[in-house]
Amino acid sequence: MRRDGRAYVAAAGALVLVGVACTPGDDDNGDGEGGEIVWAIGGAEAQPGGVHQSVAELWNDENPDNPVRIEQLPEEADQQREQQALELQAEGSNFDVLGVDVIWTGEYSENEWVESLEDVRGEIEEASIPGAFESATWGGELWAAPYNTNAGFLYYRTDLVDQPPDTWEALCDQAVEVSQSEDIGGFLGQGARYEGFVVNWLEYYWSAGGELYNEDQTEVLFDTEIAAQATEFMADAMENGCYAPGFNTAREEEGRNEFQQGNVAFLRNWPYVYSQVAGDDGSPANGNFDIAPLPTFTGQGTVSALGGFNNAVSAFSDNTEAAKDFVVWAATNEEAQTMLATEGSVPPTLESVYEELSDDPVMQVLGEILPDARPRPPAPEWNQISVEMQQSLFPAVNGDADVQSAVESVRSYLEGTVQ
C-alpha cells in the first residue's frame, strides 16, 4: 500500500502540474460578437498600420454597429488558404469575410465555403476592372467581390537601356548585351519552382497567342506548339545569359533585391518594387529606372497575369448580411479603393481610381496594362493544374527534360480536367 501510495502521490503531482499551466485570458476566441465582422486576410497590409487596417477603420467610422476586425493570416498564400480551409472545413463561423486569392475562387465555390454574390453582381461588375471581376467568378456565378489586383511590369534601367523592348527576343538581346558590357546580370523574373513560375511562363505563352481554355472552360485550347516556343525561349534564356544567375531559384524578393542592388538590368515584378527602389537613396537603380508593359512575342500589345485578392463572404458566417455589405462597399467605395493605391502596395480594382490617379507613374502603367491582363483560370482544380505545370515545365526550362514531352503532358493533363 505504501508503495502504491507513493505512485499515486507522483501521479497526483503530475496532474497538479498539468492544472497549474493554464492558458491565459482565453477571452477573445474570434467569434463575432453582436454585429462584428471578422475579416480573415493575410500579408503585410493586414498588420497594424497596413492599408487593410485603414480600410477597416474607414468602414468602422461609418458602420459602428457592424465593425470589422481583421484576423491576420500569414504572409504566404498557401498558408492563408490552409488556415481558412481548416476553419471552413469544420464549418466554423469564426471568419465572416475571407480574403481569397484570385486562383481560389472555383475551389471555394465547389466546396460551398462561400456565399454567392449574384444578387449584387450588377454594381460590382460595373465598377471593377474586367480581369479582376472575371477572377471572382466561377461557373458563370459571382463568388467574391474584387478588392485588390496585381499585374507584372517590366522594370528596366534607363541608364543602361535606351528604349524598353517590345518583344521578348529584343529584351533578351539587350539583356545579354548589357550583362556583357556592364558585367551585371541581364533579366530576372520569378523562375523558382512555385506558383510564380507558372505566372511567368503563362505571360510568355499568352503573349505568343496561346490559350488554356475556351471562355466557359469546357474545352481545352492548349496549343503545344506555342507552349513549346515559350518553353524553349525560357530554356534558351537560361543558357545564353539573358536570365541573370539564380533565375531558377528566384522569387519576388530575390528579383527585387538584385534590381535594387543594381545587379540586373531588367526585372519582371509586381508594382510593389517601384516604391522600394525609389525610396532607397543608396540604390544604383534609384533615379535610373522606369517601368513599361511586359513585351510580347509579336511586338504588339502586352499581357500580364493578374494577381490579387478578392473578398468573399463565408457560407458559415452568422453575420452574412453585414459581411456582404462590407465586401460590396470595399469593392466599390472610392475612398477605400483610393487608399489601396495611395497608402498601400496593392493596386485597387475600382476602375475610376485609375483615371483619377493617372499622374502617378505606377497607376498610369497599370491603367495601361490592366485591361489586357488576364487571370489564371480560377477553376477548382487550378492548384493541381499549377503543380502539374511546375512538374512538367520547370525541368524542361532547366534543360533537365524534353520540351516537347513536357508540353504534351501539360496538354493531356488539362484535357483530363474538362470531361
Q: Which of residues 54-93 bind other proteins (CB under 8 A)?
A: 71-75, 78-79, 82-83, 85-86, 89-90, 92
Nearest of 308, 296, 297 to residue 372 by alpha carbon:
296
| Among residues 105, 109, 179, 260, the one that binds other proteins under rule CB under 8 A | 260
φ, ψ for residue 378, nearest 5 deg: -80, 45
Nearest residue (CB) to other proteins, 384 versus 412: 384
Please work out, in degrees rounded to the nearest 5, the angle formed at the alpha carbon of residue 251 by the alpha carbons of 247 and 255: 65
User: In angstroms, what is the minimal distance from the CB of 178 to other proteins?
Assistant: 16
Closest distance between other proteins and the C-beta of residue 101, in Å? 12
With a CB cutoff of 8 Å and minimum separation 6, the contacts of 185 are 179, 243, 244, 245, 258, 263, 264, 265
Q: Is the dihedral of CA 16, 18, 24, 26 positive or negative?
A: negative
- CB of 327 or CB of 397, closer to other proteins: 397
> Nearest-CA neighbor of 267 among 151, 366, 189?
189
Residue 416 interacts with other proteins (CB under 8 A): yes or no: no
Instruction: Report the residue number, 18 or 64, with the smaller CB distance to other proteins.
Output: 18
Residues listed for the chain: 419
- What burial letters (b/e) apply to 378-393, b meaning 16+ CB within 10 Å? bbbbbbebbbbbbebb
Q: Does 391 bind other proteins (CB under 8 A)?
A: yes
CB of 103 to other proteins, least distance (A): 12
The least distance separating other proteins from the CB of residue 111, rounded to whole angstroms, comes to 6
Contact residue for other proteins among 54, 60, 63, 111 (CB under 8 A): 111
Does 346 contact other proteins by CB under 8 A?
yes
Q: Does 239 bind other proteins (CB under 8 A)?
A: no
One character per residue 129-168, x = contact with other proteins (rule: CB under 8 A): ----------------------------------------
For residues 190 and 249, what is the distance between their CA atoms, to the nearest angstrom?
8
Number of residues that bind other proteins (CB under 8 A): 80
Separation of alpha carbons 57 and 277, rounded Å: 29
Smallest separation (angstroms) from other proteins to the CB of 317? 17
Closer residue to other proteins, CB minimum distance, 102 or 226: 102
Cβ neighbours, 10 Å, residue 118: 12
Q: Does 359 bind other proteins (CB under 8 A)?
A: no
If one asks whether residue 31 binds other proteins (CB under 8 A), the answer comes out as no
Our finding on whether 250 is near other proteins (CB under 8 A) is yes
C-alpha cell at 277: 527602389
Binders of other proteins among residues 176 to 215 (CB under 8 A) are: 192-194
Question: What is the phi/psi pair of residue 93, to 5°?
Answer: -100, 15
Dihedral sign, CA of 31, 37, 41, 43?
A: negative
Of residues 395-414, those binding other proteins (CB under 8 A)? 398, 400
CA distance 58 to 47: 16
Pick the piece of the chain touching other proteins (CB under 8 A) from 19-27, 153-161, 205-213, 322-330. 19-27
Q: Which of 57, 62, 118, 280 binds other proteins (CB under 8 A)?
A: 280
Is residue 224 involved in binding other proteins (CB under 8 A)?
no
Q: Does 170 bind other proteins (CB under 8 A)?
A: no
Q: Is 339 left (phi over 0), alpha (psi -120 to 50) or beta?
A: alpha
Nearer residue to other proteins within complex by CB, 40 or 226:
40
**Does residue 1 belong to the site contacting other proteins (CB under 8 A)?**
yes
- Which value, in Å, is the radius of gyration of the alpha carbons in the chain? 24
- Give the range of 10-18, 155-163, 317-325, 328-336 binding other proteins by CB under 8 A: 10-18
* Comparison of 264 and 403: residue with beta carbon closer to other proteins: 264
How many Cα atoms are found within 13 Å in the side-chain-facing hemisphere of 167? 10
Write the Ramachandran bin of 140: left for phi over 0, alpha for psi from -120 to 50, otherwise beta. Answer: left
In whole angstroms, how close is the CB of 402 to other proteins at the nearest point?
Answer: 15
Question: Would you say 8 or 359 has its CB closer to other proteins?
Answer: 8
